[in-house]
Amino acid sequence: MNGARDTFGRPLRSLRLSVTDRCNLRCKYCMPEENYRWLPSDHLLSFEETSELVEAFAAAGVEALRVTGGEPLVRRELPVLIGLLAQKPWLRDLSLTTNGVLLGPLAAALRQAGLHRLTVSLDTLEATRFRQLTGRDTHQAVLDGLAEAARVGFPLKLDTVVMRGVNDDELVPLLDFAARLGAELRFIEYMDVGGATRWRQEDVVSRAELLQRLATQLGELEPLAGRGSAPAERFRLRDGRAFGIIASTTQPFCGACDRARLTADGTLFTCLYATAGLDLKTPLRRGDGPALEALVRERWLGRGDRGAEQRLALLDRGPLAPAAVLREEPRLEMHTRGG
Ligand code: SAM
Ligand code: SF4
Ligand code: SF4
């Protein structure tokens, strides 16, 4: 059967699989509190259940998987899941987004299990700033993890959320660091997603401002073609280095969005900002495997989400949800539905 297309004609091509809502960091823009209402552990899909469920998505069009969280590497035995996913004959791209803290000891096993590529979040090169931003003292572990990931041969991307007055003085040092590592850096605009309960418009460094600042410091920037449905717009610096900007806040790319999200307890969300998800764990655990593809397909066919564009249209924009609302509905959290 053909892949599903939503109400705007967007195909379903890519699935972000959150394997845990837990995390070993407390980034201010994502999990500013110390404690959360976590998903009960018996609600988490087993690796076998995840592997079965992704088949329903593949039948509806998915050909790329990104494993995320929370922090995916805190999920025990994660390379076993990667091994199961890597064997899927329909899979064209298997990637993982991590904060890098546990990457050092796991990089070789992930590579061996068949993971294609890695994205590591790195917002600062300064250990003290890292502690202020994440509440933890593990900056060196991230740097060691990155070195090990490069050593075992992973194609690498670095993701940096830029916040005014926090790390916006590190744009060029971060680009230089990425170049030394052989990685491509993407600057991400600070987003007002669930979890970003302290989000303020004035803390966002926009795409336009980033481009202007980089051009002033590094010279002319050449836009690169061929973005497709990718969130990042790519540019080339004069010295040939490429970098990306993910302008989800000021210039959203909902029109080409082919991404679905699955929480660690098997709830499908069709947008980062969607307030209602679809429970797939119950039919999966009932043994109703054949119904799953129909459920995924039907949900995608009815999809009309353009969450970031709708946020942009708001006149008075603040955080998506206050902490009290997130406590009632933890699946609204960025760390639950996967970034
Ligand atoms: N824990 C992993 C990590 O940090 O890479 C994976 C999950 S995390 C939710 C995925 C991505 O979302 C990270 O690159 C993170 O920086 C980004 N993110 C989280 N909150 C954000 C926000 N408020 N604005 C922009 N990006 C955000
Ligand atoms: Fe954890 Fe990633 Fe969220 Fe930071 S961005 S708190 S590392 S899930
Ligand atoms: Fe896709 Fe929703 Fe993000 Fe827009 S806001 S790009 S529809 S996930």
Residue 257 in any domain: the answer is: yes
User: CB neighbours of 60 closer than 8 A, spacing ≥ 6?
Assistant: 3, 4, 12, 293, 296, 297, 300
The arithmetic mean of pLDDT across residues 1-11, rounded, is: 91
Q: Look at residue 3 and tell me if it is in a domain.
A: no
Would you say 319 and 192 are in contact if contact means Cβ atoms under 8 Å apart? yes
pTM above 0.85, yes or no: yes
254 within ligand 3 shell (Cβ under 6 A) = yes
Choice from 188, 192, 248, 251 to test ligand 1 binding pocket (greatest atom count within 8 A of CB): 188
CATH of the domain at 274: 3.20.20.70
Report which protein residue has its CA nearest ligand 2's atom 8. 70
Shortest-distance Cα residue to atom 3 of ligand 2: 30
What total of structural domains would you count in the chain? 1
pLDDT of residue 1: 61
Distance between start and end Cα atoms, the chain? 29
Closest CA to 331 of 190, 192, 133, 193: 193
What pLDDT does 197 receive?
84
Task: Give nearest CA residue, ligand 1 atom 8.
Answer: 339
Taking the CA of 29 as reference, the closest ligand is 1
337 found inside a domain: no
Q: 53 with 292: CB under 8 angstroms?
A: yes
Domain that holds residue 234: 14-332
Residue 164 has pLDDT above 80, yes or no: yes
CB of 232 within 6 A of ligand 3: the answer is no
pLDDT band at residue 288 under the 50/70/90 scheme: confident
Residue 284 included in any domain: yes
Protein residue with its CA nearest to atom 6 in ligand 3: 254
